[in-house]
Structure 1
Amino acid sequence: MKSVLTIGEILVEIMATEKGDGFLEPINLIGPFPSGAPAIFIDQAAKFGQPAAIIGCVGADDFGRVNLDRLRRDGVDVEGVRIDPEMATGSAFVRYRPDGSRAFVYNIKHSAAGAISLDSAAKAVLNRGDHLHVMGTALSSPNIVEVILAAAEAIKARGGTISFDPNLRPEILNLPGLREACETLFRRCDLFLPSGAELYLFTKAKEEKATVREILDRGVRAIVHKRGADGASYYDSKARLTQAGFEVKEVDPTGAGDCFGATFVSCWLRNMPPAQCLAYAAASGALAVTRQGPMEGAASQAELDAFLASHSKRP
């Protein structure tokens, strides 16, 4: 099977146990949970059975160990994760607002997560990769943008493929060079996985049908438009498919889109039919929200098969 590589932040996530508008007073917290959008993605890919690796950086602390232990346990190649002896592992404090949206306080750029480099170990991992998946959240500094763009060029030069999930948090939208980096990756990607209004980020058209046509005309091979609980749609030059979301009891939606994306990319790399890719991905996203913690709901292929069978929607 083709191997999947991602590059980006590895964090711990610490969550408020009560809903509210922020962190302006002492509140109860739970964690640390292994997290970071690229880390969640690659953990799910490995758990699904895909050869998977990540290039990143953590601190020489308990938070770094929590992440590395989880990633190794689920089968991720962490040879390309550098352990910085001085900087702390990145973190994200999360609180759900009463309306269900989330408020984040990040420490990424000025933590070990912002100190990613293509050292010899990372280059060795890059040289083994067949496919690069890029998350918009990883583009948090010019240094990391440079690393990711270099990796994208290397993967493409040897005939590999790229998937791109903009995953743009409001907290990072105004970072210098972010939009330019996203546009470069959009132009280079084979598979585009936007959520909601992200579908229209890089097009002149602002109506869905015209936007899809414009994106495909620009060389993207396939689009997966994620709509959360409402499901997802798939578009390529020949197919237009829609997958409904599965009804489950939601405990924590964090990481659901990353799990969806990882499972879809894994299926796509195995040349499964698009409808089968969508069904597996939707099941993966649904299972992810049933557990508290970003990686806690990651599922194996056998678990997804059982879920699909129980919902009478086999892929």
Structure 2
Amino acid sequence: MKKIITIGEILVEIMATEPGDGFLEPIGLVGPYPSGAPAIFIDQVAKMGQPCGMIACVGADDFGQVNLDRLSRDGVDVSAIVTHPELPTGSAFVRYRPDGSRHFVFNIRHSAAGATGATPEAERLIEGAHHLHVMGSSLSTPAIVALALSAADRIHAKGGTVSFDPNLRPSVLATPGTRETMDEVLARTDLFLPSGPELFLFSSAATEAEAVADLLGRGIGAIVVKDGAEGARYHADGALLSAPAFAVDEIDPTGAGDTFAGTFVALWLRDTPPAQALRIANASGALAVTRRGPMEGTSTMAEIDAFLGAHA
């Protein structure tokens, strides 16, 4: 089976126990939960039984150990995750507002996550990889950008593939140099996985069909638009396939898109028919939102099959 790798942030998430706006007074908290968009993605890949590994950096602290224990237990190759002797593991404090939106306080760029870069262990992991998954949120330092672009080129050179999930807000894309970086990644992308409006961050087209035609015309092989409660859509070679979302009681939406992507990419690399891959990935995303904690919602194929059986 093809080995999937990713590069980027590992952090812990700590959540407010009650809805509200911000952290301006003492409130109840729960956590820490293992987190980080690429870490959630690769954990789901491992749960699918796919060989996989991650290049990252954590602190020499309990938060780093929580993540290393979870990833290694679930089957991720953690040999290229460095433990930094001084910088702390990244963190995210989150509070849900009454309207369902979220307020975050992050420490990522200036944590151990920001020290991620090339190491002998990272080189060995890239050498053995067949697929690279890039998260836009992870491209926060020149060292990470250089490593991701180099890994993409090396994996392509031996016949491998690259997937790209922007995971960006428009304001982040306006940061100097970010647009150019994202365009460089997009030029190396075989499978593009934007969430809803992110499709239009990379095309000035007015409609989804026009944006898809524009992006496929640049050499991308397939596009999967993740649209939350609206389901997901697959575009390739003039074909459009849609799969509805599953109705579930949502507890925590954080990480659902990363879980969907991990499932879909693993199935895509196994040549699973796209309609089937969409349905299975939607099921994994639905399972993810029913559990509190961003990485707590990753699931095995047996769990996904059981969910699909109950929703046949």
> Which TM-score tier does this pair reach, normalised by the shorter chain?
over 0.9
The 8 Å contact of residues 5 and 52 in structure 1, kept in 2 or not, is answered as yes
Residue of structure 2 in register with 1:51 after alignment: 51
Q: Compute the displacement of 1:239 (Å).
A: 2.2
The 8 Å contact of residues 118 and 143 in structure 2, kept in 1 or not, is answered as no
Q: Compute the displacement of 1:238 (Å).
A: 4.3
Tell me the amino acid that sits aligned with residue 212 of structure 1: V
Q: Compute the displacement of 1:172 (Å).
A: 4.1
CA distance in 1, matches of 2:103, 2:148: 27
Residue of structure 2 in register with 1:40 after alignment: 40
How far does the alpha carbon of each residue in 1:266-315 deviate from its partner, in whole angstroms, 9 at most, with x for none?
A: 00000000001101100000000010000111110111111111100xxx
Counting only pairs closer than 5 Å after superposition, residues 181-192 of structure 1 correspond to structure 2 as 181-192=181-192
**Could you tell me the TM-score, scaled by structure 2's length?**
0.98
How far does the alpha carbon of each residue in 1:163-194 deviate from its partner, in whole angstroms, 9 at most, with x for none?
A: 00000146744544222111111111000000
The 8 Å contact of residues 60 and 85 in structure 2, kept in 1 or not, is answered as yes
The 8 Å contact of residues 52 and 77 in structure 1, kept in 2 or not, is answered as yes
Gaps of 5+ in 2: none
Gaps of 5+ in 1: none
CA distance in 1, matches of 2:148, 2:163: 12
Tell me the amino acid that sits aligned with residue 298 of structure 1: T
Q: Does 1:69 align with 2:78?
A: no
CA distance in 2, matches of 1:209, 1:300: 33
Q: Compute the displacement of 1:143 (Å).
A: 2.0
Tell me the amino acid that sits aligned with residue 163 of structure 2: S
CA distance in 1, matches of 2:277, 2:214: 23
The 8 Å contact of residues 137 and 169 in structure 1, kept in 2 or not, is answered as no
Q: Compute the displacement of 1:202 (Å).
A: 1.3
The 8 Å contact of residues 9 and 56 in structure 2, kept in 1 or not, is answered as yes
Residue of structure 2 in register with 1:125 after alignment: 125
Tell me the amino acid that sits aligned with residue 234 of structure 1: Y
Secondary structure of the residue aligned to 1:194 is: coil
Tell me the amino acid that sits aligned with residue 88 of structure 1: P
Q: Number of residue pairs matched?
A: 312
Residue of structure 1 in register with 2:135 after alignment: 135
Residue of structure 1 in register with 2:233 after alignment: 233
Q: Compute the displacement of 1:204 (Å).
A: 2.7
Residue of structure 1 in register with 2:3 after alignment: 3
CA distance in 1, matches of 2:46, 2:247: 25
CA distance in 2, matches of 1:188, 1:96: 36
Secondary structure of the residue aligned to 1:105 is: strand
How far does the alpha carbon of each residue in 1:67-119 deviate from its partner, in whole angstroms, 9 at most, with x for none?
A: 00000010000001000111100111111111111111111111100001111
The 8 Å contact of residues 140 and 172 in structure 1, kept in 2 or not, is answered as no
Secondary structure of the residue aligned to 2:187 is: helix
Residue of structure 2 in register with 1:266 after alignment: 266
Q: Does 1:223 align with 2:218?
A: no
**Could you tell me the TM-score, scaled by structure 1's length?**
0.97
Tell me the amino acid that sits aligned with residue 104 of structure 2: F
Residue of structure 1 in register with 2:12 after alignment: 12
Secondary structure of the residue aligned to 1:188 is: coil
RMSD of equivalent CA atoms? 1.1
Give the ranges of 4+ consecutive aligned residues of structure 1 lying more than 6 Å apart after TM superposition. Answer: none
Counting only pairs closer than 5 Å after superposition, residues 293-308 of structure 1 correspond to structure 2 as 293-308=293-308
Q: Compute the displacement of 1:228 (Å).
A: 0.5
Tell me the amino acid that sits aligned with residue 192 of structure 1: F
Residue of structure 1 in register with 2:87 after alignment: 87
